[in-house]
Amino acid sequence: MKTASFLLLCLLLTLAGHTQSPPLKDSIEKKYITNGAWHYHYFSKEWQLYLDSALAVLPDEAEFWQLKAMPYFKQRKYEVGMVYLDKAVQLNPAEYLDYRAFIKCIFQKSYHAAIADFEAAERLSTHQGVMDHSYSFYIGLSYLQLNQYDSARYYLQQCMTERQQQCKEAPMHFLYDFYMGIADYETAQYDSAITHFNMALRHYPDFSDASYYKAICLIKLNRQEEAKLSMVKSIHDYKQGYTINEDNVVYEPYPYQVRPWLFSYYKKLLGL
């Protein structure tokens, strides 16, 4: 009954978010967004002022609330942005619930809340995924960040299975094996972790993050010479800019993404 009630509420809210007449929305969007906000950087005061003007006319337009929220997350003003994004979700959950889940996972790092939103978005069945990946991928990442490694593996494997079923001819995304490798690394399953890192490197040969964690696993297995080669490759590739290349990584690091200071200890340990 709770699920049915939730879905009914979401449907009603979605319909409520689309009550504005298209000609009026088009006119306001052209005036305040296309010919207004988009002429300024989204970190500028002008961006917010134009969105405020649009919302003064159409306060129930979810898209405008999302556009108002977006810059704050990229400025790491998460609590400010979430006030406006919550409004977008309230008005149109079918469109914006999974986007909020993504923000909670990658930006705000509120993992329990992200999982809850992704599970609710799955029940709505509006989208197949968000930001180029399935919900299972982000749920797996969330569990990884909560140190619940078995659950992380379960959802990452589910993500990989979904990918194989939907895109049989397409190569597996390198991040899926990378994070499976991280789950194995964290639970001292080093041989399995290396296998996954090698698979990630097969799809992205210069992936510095995979080479870095592969080197650590090799150290744990007392394979020092191989570890040196892997760490040297990681340092070289990192300096060339080859790391996790998701669109939003310019604003937020992804889980386990390598940073320069992480190399110092292992360079000394390996005599590099």
User: Is-same-fold flag (1-131; 172-272)?
Assistant: yes
CA-based nearest residue to 155, from 118, 108, 195, 205 = 118
For residue 257, pLDDT beyond 90: yes
> Using one digit for the tens of pLDDT, what is the confidence trace for 64-113?
999 999 999 999 999 999 999 999 999 999 999 999 999 999 999 999 99
Please give the helix or strand (H or E) that residue 227 lies within, else none. Answer: helix 224-239
23 vs 7, residue with greater confidence: 23
Pick among 3.40.50.720, 3.40.50.1000, 1.10.730.10, 1.25.40.10: CATH of 172-272? 1.25.40.10
Whether the CB-CB separation of 203 and 190 falls below 8 Å is answered with no
pLDDT of residue 23: 81
Q: What is the mean pLDDT of residues 7-25?
A: 52
Whole-prediction pTM:
0.88
Q: Return the CATH architecture of domain 1-131.
A: Alpha Horseshoe (1.25)
% of residues, the chain, pLDDT over 90: 86
Has residue 131 got a pLDDT over 70? yes
- State the pLDDT at residue 238: 98
Kindly give the residue spans of alpha helices, DSSP state H, lying in 19-148: 22-28, 45-57, 62-74, 78-91, 93-102, 111-124, 135-145
The Cα 221–Cα 100 span in angstroms is 41
What is the pLDDT at residue 165? Answer: 83
- Strand-pairing partners, residue 133, are 130
What residue ranges do the domains of the chain occupy?
1-131, 172-272
Residue labelled with tokens 């300096």: 239
CA nearest 221: which of 194, 199, 184, 187?
A: 194
How confident is the model over 126-134, as a mean pLDDT?
Answer: 91
What average pLDDT does this structure show over 116-139? 94
Instruction: Give per-residue pLDDT as tens, 187-237.
Output: 999 999 999 999 999 999 999 999 999 999 999 999 999 999 999 999 999
Q: Is 237 helix (H, G, I), strand (E, B) or coil?
A: helix
CA 250 to chain CA centroid, nearest Å? 12
pLDDT in tens, 148-167: 999 999 999 999 998 888 77
